[in-house]
Every structure is written in C-alpha cells, then in structure tokens.
C-alpha cells in the first residue's frame, strides 16, 4: 500500500520534516487549530503502517477523554484515506490494530483507573494536551519507556508560562518568541528534542469560522489572543466569570432536580447537555453529553440511552429545527427563552448560587476554569464573555434563566420560539 507523502493534499507542509525526525521528544505547540493533533495522528498512523514493529500509546490525563480526541482523530483519518478495512478498532479497552502486520495503537490515562496498567514494549507515545499532565506523571511515563528507539510526541497550547514544560524543554522566550507569532523551530535546551511552533495560519484546512474566531480574540482578550491565536506563552488568567465553585464526588440524593440544559454544536463545537439540580443557594451540575459531530438523531439516541425519559430539556432557541427534530423523537425538549441581555442576566443569576460540579464532569470543570470576560487593553472587564469554553455553561444558563428565575411561571405555549 502506498501513502504518497508528497501529495500536497494530505499534509500541511510545515510538518513534513517531522515525519523523518528521529529525536526522542517532538513537541508540537502553538495556537489553536494549527493542525498539531491532526499531524500527530497522521504520524502515528504512518508509523503503524510502515514499520515492521510499532506500538504507540495515546496518553492523556484522563483515560475517558482519549476516545473522543486522539482515538477519534486517528479513526477519522483512517476512514478519510479509505483504509478502514485494514484496521480493527476496539473501544473497551481502546485499541487499534493494523491487520497486515499486527502493529497496535493503545491508550493509557494518567488517572487512577488505568495508570498502573503497563504496556509491553511500546515504541512511542503521544501526549495530547500535555499541559494538563503533571511533571511527575510525565517523568513516570517517560522513564518507564525503555529499549529500542522511542519517540514521544506532545501536543499542547502554551497556556501558562509557569508550566513545567516551559522550564524543562524551552530556552528563555526572548531567545525565540516573535511577537507576531511567526516563528517555527525553537532550539530546545535538551539535545534530544525538536520543538515546532505553529498557528492557525499554518493550517490550510482551518475553517473560515475558526479564523474569524481566532482573529476576533485580538479585540476580545489579550491573553487569549496571545495563547490561542499567536501560540505565545500566556500569563495567569484574569477576568474569570465563575469563581465560586467546587468539585464534588456525587450529587446528594435529597437535592431537587430542575431540568437538563442543552447547547447545540456540530463540527467546531461540541453539543453539551448538563443536568441541573438545586438546593437553596447551591446549584449542582452534572455533565451528560459533551461531544462534537453529533447529528440530532445521535443526540436523541444518546438522551434515550441515559434515560432522560420525560424530564424536561431546555435548549438553545437558535436551533428551532434541531429542537423540533428531537421533539419528534419523543424528547421533552423546549427552546430557552432568552430575552434582552440574557447572557449577562443569566450569568448574574448563576452567580447568586454556589456551583457544585461532579468530578466526572471534566468538560464543565474545564469550562469553569477558563470561561472569562472580555477585557480591554487596560485589563478592565467589558462585561461580555469571550465566546470560548462556554458550551456546557450556556446550557446551564438556559436552565437557570428559564426554570429558576422570577419569570419561571412562564408558559411554554410555543414549542418553536421565533426570535
Ligand atoms: N492534513 C489535514 N487534512 C485535513 N484536515 C486537516 C489537516 N490538518 C488539520 N486539519 C483540520 O484542521 C482542524 C484543526 O486541526 P487540529 O485539531 O489538529 O488543531 P490543533 O492544532 O490540534 O488545535 P488545538 O490547539 O485546538 O488542539 C481540524 O478540524 C482538522 O480536521
Ligand atoms: Mg489539538
């Protein structure tokens, strides 16, 4: 079988030299949507298919996150190349086998569940979102890989300058960072490391919608613009919207269920469904769905799988067609009434409560840690959220605005709201 590495349609050219780079550590970092993960997946697939022996491990902080990220990306690329008949995929545990030579791609999370399961004779690792992984976990993993030629690929956004990745691999930033984000190779302070910096401008497949969002950060938020648009090391986050929250193991039995909230997404954003409970001045939230690429039909089936039954779902009214389709599948779904200034009103309402989020709601936790106000150049809050890390939190807002505010006696006379 031949994969033509010179076919310009398959690759972003900036990454091509890394296909043959033999350094132990390949760090792919930079802004959002720069094709870091996509390229890492391509490299893992090519190694798996071309080497006589290859065993890659997909690593993330949380095992359960691997399925929707690295595993799915690899699966999608294999399908795009029309090679799915040559591979065998299993989900429990996550495993991909290339049938002609038996090479495998396996997965390991650094959470308690799977940490101890060791994998025999790996040849490579791909750490996705390496900035979520602690130095300790990285050291344990990298020192456990012995024998033969090992390659460790890392993909991440440079969210915090104080990160261990920076001090372990990178020289002082004045030696290589260019303020406009236009620079590529960074000379690592380690001899066995290649560092490639990229931004969305290096990804010819970046959608217009993503380009616009990333460019809008210039006005919206200096720190976000630095990190996600230019791929420069960021400072501490300022202007967080929700600060009064904590992680709990389980929602207590006695608290009252309010409703489910839902925000629609598809290719660039996840569809988010959250379950909301209340007890006096505490809101409890649980993640139910947080996934990209779901059609309405799939959403409907997932909702049935989690036995939502007749419980009410309050969904983003900007998608009346989706709401109608889900309603016709038997889901008790209604559009959220938004009203004027509903974003700020909703946020203020939520802030009257303490938020408690279950520990398995990983994406909600991630949003809570990052959801923030736009800031002007002087660091003053502009009272408008940055449109990022807001999917599950928007879903929560729909519930709070529609079911917990003074207007809660509002009738859902019309299923389809025209706005
Ligand atoms: N070689 C390619 N062929 C087709 N599509 C591509 C290719 N490279 C990247 N893309 C598309 O570009 C988009 C962004 O790529 P990717 O998710 O790899 O970015 P990233 O740098 O990992 O972003 P983030 O920092 O948000 O994790 C994806 O939707 C992907 O499908
Ligand atoms: Mg990525």
Ligand 1 atom nearest to CA at 11 = 1
Q: Are residues 326 and 261 in the same domain?
A: yes
Determine, yes or no, domain membership for 235: no
Q: How far is the CA of 58 from the centre of ligand 1 (A)?
A: 17
Residue 214 in contact with residue 200, Cβ under 8 Å?
Answer: yes
Distance of CA 222 from the midpoint of ligand 2 (Å):
21
Q: Which residues of the chain have pLDDT under 70?
A: 1-2, 5-6, 112-117, 405-419
The reply to whether 49 and 164 lie within a common domain is: yes
CA of 169 to the centre of ligand 1 (A): 24
Which tens digit of pLDDT belongs to each residue from 231-244? 999 987 778 999 99
What is the structure's pLDDT at 184? 98
Nearest to 150, CA basis, from 18, 36, 26: 26
If asked whether residues 29 and 135 sit together in one domain, one would say yes
Task: Please tell me the number of the ligand nearest to residue 29's CA.
Answer: 1
Task: Determine the pLDDT at residue 114.
Answer: 54
Residue 419 lies in a domain: no
What's the CA gap between 263 and 46, in Å, rounded?
Answer: 37
Q: Is residue 36 in some structural domain?
A: yes
Stated pTM of the model: 0.77
Q: Ligand 1 centroid vs 73 CA: distance in angstroms?
A: 9
Q: What is the predicted pLDDT for the residue at 28?
A: 98
Which ligand has its closest atom nearest to the C-alpha of 158? 1
Please tell me whether residues 249 and 192 are part of one structural domain.
no
Residues 46, 127: one domain? yes
Instruction: Mark whether 128 and 205 lie in a shared domain.
Output: yes
4 domain residue, yes or no: no
Q: Is residue 37 part of a domain?
A: yes
Mutate to test the pocket of ligand 1, among 6, 18, 35, 71 (most ligand atoms within 8 A of CB): 35
Q: Do 188 and 314 belong to one domain?
A: no
pLDDT of residue 74: 98
Q: Does 134 share its domain with 41?
A: yes
The answer on 200 and 58 residing in a single domain is yes
What does each C-alpha distance from 4 to 7, 8, 11, 103, 206 come to in angstroms? 5, 9, 10, 20, 22
Q: How many domains does the chain have?
A: 2
Q: To the nearest 5 percent, what fractions of the chain are helix, strand and coil?
A: 35, 25, 45
Q: What is the pLDDT of residue 144?
A: 87
Residue 396 lies in a domain: yes
pLDDT at position 4 is 75
How far apart CA 157 and CA 171 sit, in angstroms, is 17
Of 157, 188, 210, the one marking the end of a domain is 210
292 and 191 inside one domain: no
**Distance separating alpha carbons of residues 32 and 331, to the nearest angstrom:** 35
Structure tokens at 334: 């209604």
Do 28 and 184 touch, CB atoms closer than 8 A?
Answer: no
CATH number of the domain that 185 lies in? 3.40.50.300
What distance in angstroms lies between residue 73's CA and the mean position of ligand 2's atoms? 10
**Of 210, 234, 257, the domain-final residue:** 210
pLDDT of 241: 94
- Whichever domain contains 395, its CATH number is 3.30.420.280
Q: Which atom, in ligand 1's list, is nearest to the CA of 28?
A: 21
Residues with CB under 6 A from ligand 1: 10-12, 32-38, 155, 157, 203, 205-206
**359 shares its domain with 272:** yes
- pLDDT at residue 374, rounded to an integer: 87
Q: Nearest 5°: phi and psi at 288?
A: -110, -50
Query: Which of 185, 210, 235 is the endpoint of a domain?
Result: 210
Q: Please choose from 32, 33, 34, 200 the residue to mutate so as to test ligand 1's pocket, defined by most ligand atoms within 8 A of CB.
A: 33
Question: Tens digit of pLDDT for each residue in 297-306?
Answer: 999 999 999 8
Per-residue pLDDT, 158:
97
The answer to whether residue 7 is domain-embedded is no
Cα distances (Å, whole numbers) of residue 7 to 10, 16, 393: 6, 11, 42
- Examine residue 6 and state whether it is found in any structural domain, yes or no: no
Residue 274 belongs to what domain range?
A: 245-409
Same domain, 383 and 263: yes
């Amino acid at each position: 079988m031949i994969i033509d590495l010179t076919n310009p349609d398959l690759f972003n050219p900036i990454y091509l030299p890394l296909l043959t780079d033999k350094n132990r550590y390949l760090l792919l970092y930079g802004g959002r949507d720069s094709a870091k993960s996509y390229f890492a997946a391509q490299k893992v697939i090519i190694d798996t298919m071309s080497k006589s022996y290859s065993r890659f491990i997909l690593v993330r902080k949380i095992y359960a996150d691997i399925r929707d990220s690295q595993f799915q990306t690899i699966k999608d690329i294999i399908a795009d190349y029309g090679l799915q008949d040559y591979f065998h995929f299993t989900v429990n545990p996550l495993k991909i086998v290339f049938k002609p030579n038996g090479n495998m791609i396996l997965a390991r999370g650094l959470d308690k569940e799977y940490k101890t399961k060791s994998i025999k004779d790996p040849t490579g690792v791909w750490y996705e979102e390496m900035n979520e992984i602690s130095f300790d976990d990285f050291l344990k993993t990298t020192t456990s890989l012995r024998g033969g030629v090992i390659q460790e690929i890392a993909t991440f956004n440079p969210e915090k300058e104080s990160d261990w990745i920076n001090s372990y691999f990178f020289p002082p930033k004045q030696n290589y960072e260019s303020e406009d984000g236009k620079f590529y190779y960074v000379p690592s302070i380690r001899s066995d490391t290649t560092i490639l910096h990229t931004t969305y401008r290096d990804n010819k497949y970046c959608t217009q919608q993503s380009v616009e969002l990333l460019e809008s950060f210039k006005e919206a938020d200096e720190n976000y613009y630095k990190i996600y648009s230019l791929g420069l090391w960021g400072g501490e986050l300022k202007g967080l919207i929700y600060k009064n929250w904590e992680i709990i193991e389980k929602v207590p039995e006695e608290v009252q269920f309010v409703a489910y909230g839902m925000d629609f997404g598809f290719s660039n954003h996840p569809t988010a469904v959250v379950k909301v409970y209340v007890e006096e001045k505490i809101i409890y939230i649980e993640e139910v769905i947080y996934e990209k690429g779901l059609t309405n039909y799939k959403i409907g089936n997932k909702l049935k799988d989690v036995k939502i039954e007749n419980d009410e779902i309050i969904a983003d009214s900007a998608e009346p067609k989706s709401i109608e389709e889900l309603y016709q599948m038997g889901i008790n779904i209604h559009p959220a009434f938004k009203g004027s200034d509903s974003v700020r009103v909703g946020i203020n309402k939520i802030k009257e409560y303490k938020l408690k989020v279950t520990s398995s709601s990983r994406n909600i936790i991630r949003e809570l840690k990052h959801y923030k106000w736009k800031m002007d150049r002087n660091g003053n809050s502009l009272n408008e959220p940055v449109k990022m890390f807001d999917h599950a939190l928007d879903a929560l807002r729909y519930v709070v605005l529609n079911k917990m505010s003074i207007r809660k006696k509002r009738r859902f006379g019309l299923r389809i709201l025209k706005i």
